[in-house]
Amino acid sequence: MKKFFRYLGLGLLSTFLTATPGLGAERISFFYPPFGEFYLSVDSLETFAKKGKIDQDFSFYANRATPEQLAQLRDLLQQRFNVTPTLVSQVTYSPIGEELVQQLGKLLLTESRQNGFYAIRASLILSAADQEGLTVVNLLRKFPSNTIRVNFTEGLRIVDDLSQLIKKKDEVFASLQKEAIAEAANSTIDFSKQPDLRSPGKYSWQKKSLELNDISRNRRLPVDIYLPKAGSPSTKELPSPPFPLIVISHGLASDRSTFVYLAEHLTSYGFAVAVLEHPGSNAKRFQLYFAGLAGPPDAAEFINRPLDIKYLLNELQRLDKSDPTLQGKLNFQQIGAIGQSFGGYTVLTLAGANINFGQLKLDCNPNNSSFNLSLFLQCQATKLPPLNYELKDDRIKVVMAINPFDSSILGEGGVSQIKIPVMLVAGSQDIFAPPVFEQIRPFTWLSDSNKYLALIENATHFSAIGESKDDVLPVPSTLLGPDRVAVYSYLDALSVAFMETHLLNRSEYRSYLQPSYATFISKEPLNLSILQSLSADQLNQIWNGPAPLGSQKSKVKSQN
């Protein structure tokens, strides 16, 4: 019985901390056979949230939690989520939002023990519209039922599976870090005596903005082009144009300002950089969507994004013959691409990975539960006609994918088709594109020998994104992770080293891609590791180590 109560307290806490807020009305009911039904009043939670007092009703549960857990719970209860009712409505009525709320509704039931989907959606919208705003307590008050019944048995199973997955992820990261550190220890290179690639290069630069219009697809593409300035007194000894070209593709709800820091850094080293916006999934589109003036991004974005970059390169080649500011400035024989999140997927398709409709069919089964949030987006591609889309662009010679999602939409069959150098970047605390499933395992599928896996401990899905005052998505500070400046410096250095080595064939930069360089520039808590090899067998050996999950879920491959 004591063990049960311990789980009861942890289960309650975990439900609050891992689910979308909104758990009840006047009371919360937990049915846990064979012990029966337990209740907690909303008044007790509100008193705890506002005054920090634990009344007799809540003490039954609070006594089973640690002081740290109670403090976390109170912080969550007090937090106000700054979202508008229009935004909440748009998201919860979108295909992805509906699927998420449906999954949550299996845990949070109505008084009649029905899926809580409609009640949860209504309470989210009503509380966002209320003067007090969207808080957990206000959400409870808006729930259209006197009692919300928590599917406690299922909740405990999910919490247990999730904690096991987190434990396994941490084991994988720790093991790969240990291997990288061991390799670094054998290095004799003194990086303190070599140029610091985190510092700007010798080129000054200028920016040219364009708006391209692809009439055939009705797509207007804003583009910023960063060009090195050659010939000034400080750069007379540096190579002259044409400059190698790097294209940067942003993630969902971002824009061309997201990676200004990276574009400027690469330009300072003599690369021309073109940063475009994808109009179907950029920040402007999401602003319209959240305001109720446009629909959500559709499945065609999986095709249009790589086609945007193809069109950009076609237009730049055309302008090279007619625009005086671009004429002779770009080397179309040396093109690389960098993308983050949805942009990571985009550059991998350009590198040769085809959409894997067979894998999508397996992974996007409605009965297939998963803790991989990126699948909610990846599975939207099942709405596409299952054709063999020609997305590869042979002009692109190397790609760097930061926090990409690819496990299902590309799968092993797609990723293994890539025959050019690739660098994948993963953050250990990325909950939106989980590192083991979306970067580490896909790394084992890459067939080219020139491949790199950069692991950043404690980095999140948003750590690589440049800071902006106009962020469209209301991302809580806890999801942004530690100070992102260190991550920016890692990406600055690694992108230069990777492009110099594999796009320009400058072997003197290869040492910067070794584990010892990652160790040299690492800064806690965002420790950096680099691996150049990892087999599927090695990964499975780590995953199925001392504490396997004891089910089919113990196989990494089955986690989608």
Give the position of tokens 């100070």.
Answer: 483
Give the span between the Cα atoms of 4 and 19, in whole angstroms: 21
What are the pLDDT digits (tens) for 369-425? Answer: 677 889 989 999 999 999 999 999 999 999 999 999 999 999 999 999 999 999 999
What is the Cα–Cα distance from 232 to 461, expressed in whole angstroms?
39
Look at residue 555 in the predicted model and tell me its pLDDT: 43
Which pairs with CB-CB distance under 8 Å and at least 24 residues apart come from 182-189? 183/514, 183/515, 183/516, 184/514, 184/515, 184/516, 184/518, 184/519, 187/514, 187/515, 187/516, 189/511, 189/514, 189/516, 189/517
Give residue-wise pLDDT tens across range 74-106.
887 777 777 778 878 877 877 777 878 887 887
Domains of the chain, by residue range, sit at 2-150, 176-559
Mean pLDDT of 12-22: 36
For the residues 542-557, what does the mean pLDDT come to?
Answer: 53
pLDDT at 90: 74
- The SS3 of residue 331 is strand
Using one digit for the tens of pLDDT, what is the confidence trace for 188-201? 899 999 999 999 99
Q: How confident is the model at residue 548 (pLDDT cuts 50, 70, 90)?
A: very low
> Which pair of tokens denotes residue 114?
């029905």
d(CA 108, CA 125): 17
Average pLDDT on 171-177 reads 93
Show the tokens assigned to 513: 């891609």
Quickly state the pLDDT bin for 37 (edges 50, 70, 90).
confident
The pLDDT tens digits of the residues spanning 515-527 come to 999 999 999 999 9
- Contacts of residue 8, defined as CB under 8 A and 6 or more positions apart, other chains included, come to 30, 32, 38, 61, 64, 152
pLDDT at 292 over 70: no
Distances in Å between the Cα of 389 and the Cα atoms of 315, 342, 352, 354 are 21, 17, 11, 7
Model pTM score? 0.82
Tokens of 354: 């085809």
- Residue 365 half-sphere exposure toward CB, CA atoms < 13 A: 10
- Residues in the chain, overall count: 560
Beta pairing, strands 219-229 & 272-276: antiparallel
- Per CATH, domain 176-559 is 3.40.50.1820: yes
- Range with the poorest average pLDDT among 147-151, 165-169, 385-389, 390-394: 147-151
Confidence band, pLDDT 50/70/90 cuts, at residue 23: very low
**pLDDT per residue as tens digits for the range 332-373:** 999 999 999 999 999 999 999 999 999 999 999 876 667 788
452 vs 3, which has greater pLDDT?
Answer: 452
Least confident range of 115-124, 235-244, 433-442, 524-533: 235-244
